[in-house]
Structure 1
Amino acid sequence: MTGARAGGVLDFVLLCGELKRTKRTGWVNNNVTLPESISDHMHRMGLLAFLCDDKTLDKTRCVKIAMVHDLAEAIVGDITPYDGVSKEAKEKMEDDAMKSIWTETLQDSEAGKELYELWREYEDASTPEALFVKDLDKFEMICQAFEYEKAENRPGGLQTFFDGTEGVFSTPQVKSWVEELKSRRKGE
């Protein structure tokens, strides 16, 4: 394996552009006025991962996982549990998409392989870093819900997003952030 050729890199960059244009389905389905894109979500996740202060975790790996965790959605879209697609079918579609990015778009390059392996690590929740990023994914979502509730004067209007994350956080740092968010939300 070598680096991706210029044509593959350009194809990858253009594919990533889909993440900038695709709005997150959960917000669209909840009639949010200006819903964030998948790319918006991934960017803030990368910044959150940068704030990791757990010395037992590889912060750089956390940032990388955060930056690729939804990359398959550039091809398959943002599929939610309410879209009528089984978890197994979604997993296969996304795995096929990531393999395509690696082997076709990035032409079996080392970078393509790393993207796939980081994504697989996240999907399998196979490392402490992946578990941390999974917590970040849920935390970022409820932060976004809180922002939309404030911006659109919908106090408690996106409660289902909070309900869906109740009791699921596992990492101490993210748990502390969640408690702060809940405290602020109650005070609003």
Structure 2
Amino acid sequence: MAQLVNSKKILEFLELVGRLKHVKRTGWLLCDIDECESIAGHMYRMGIMTFLLTEENNPTKLDRLKCLQIALVHDLAECIVGDLTPHCGVTPDEKHRREDEAMKQIADLTGIAGDRMYELYQEYEKQSSPEAAFAKDLDRYDMIQQAFEYEKRENAPRKLQEFFSATEGKFKHPFIKELVKELNRQRDEFEKKSSLDGEAI
């Protein structure tokens, strides 16, 4: 009987997680981006990026598995509370309270596995480990990469500058800093090309 109850809770947990496949990220909706990414899509690319850590670009020997796990749970609470941004009229303290309660609810459904997810979520929120700091870099980087992809798709240079301004100077890991540098270079080139194409018309 205990196994049946346990399985019932796990199915409830998986259904909650499944919501993230369909919930669009609020920041893009507020910018009127059509067919924007889901929360799960954002976390997926963050997770994939942890595989890019190598001996050469990971001098501090970050634990790649832990980075991946943090990437996959850092926005998990949003399956219950939604993607709250500063534009939603919710204070940072209230946002944290809601998300913390949601994570406790999620953790309760999965026992020991949930305890681990909650622990990793707390680590990310408190930025209490090098892996949590790296995951924060991934979070910010994925956002500006996505912003640039939307600018290119809509042929709208600098349309989403607010996302770049919000992250400027906040990246810490050398590998991510290099990616940011290259992204900005490509973005500058895109703006120049768009300007030249506009003059030619």
TM-score, normalised to structure 2, is: 0.88
Mean alpha-carbon deviation: is it higher for 3-12 or for 165-174?
3-12
What CA distance in whole angstroms lies between the structure 2 residues aligned with 1:6 and 1:50?
Answer: 31
Who is 1:101 aligned against?
106
1:70 to 2:81 alignment: no
The letter of the residue matching 2:65 is T
Q: How many residues align?
A: 184
For the aligned residue pairs, the C-alpha RMSD in angstroms reads 1.4
Who is 1:20 aligned against?
21
Q: 1:8 deviation in Å? A: 1.5
Larger radius of gyration: 2
Q: SS at 2:140's partner residue? A: helix
Q: 1:65 deviation in Å? A: 0.3
The letter of the residue matching 2:8 is G
Structure possessing the higher relative contact order (Cα contacts under 8 Å, 6 or more residues apart) = 1
Who is 2:156 aligned against?
154
Q: 1:88 deviation in Å? A: 0.5
Whether the 8 Å contact between 1:25 and 1:80 is mirrored in structure 2 is yes
Who is 1:80 aligned against?
85
The letter of the residue matching 1:99 is K
Deviating above 2 A after TM superposition, structure 1's stretches of 4 or more consecutive aligned residues are none
Give aligned-pair identity as a percent.
49
Whether the 8 Å contact between 1:45 and 1:66 is mirrored in structure 2 is yes
- For each residue in 1:3-56, what CA deviation from the matched residue of structure 2 results, as whole angstroms up to 9, or x when unmatched? 982111111110011111110000000000111000000000100122123152
Who is 2:134 aligned against?
132
TM-score, normalised to structure 1, is: 0.94
**Structure 2 unaligned residues grouped into runs of 5+:** 191-201
What CA distance in whole angstroms lies between the structure 1 residues aligned with 2:114 and 2:160?
Answer: 37
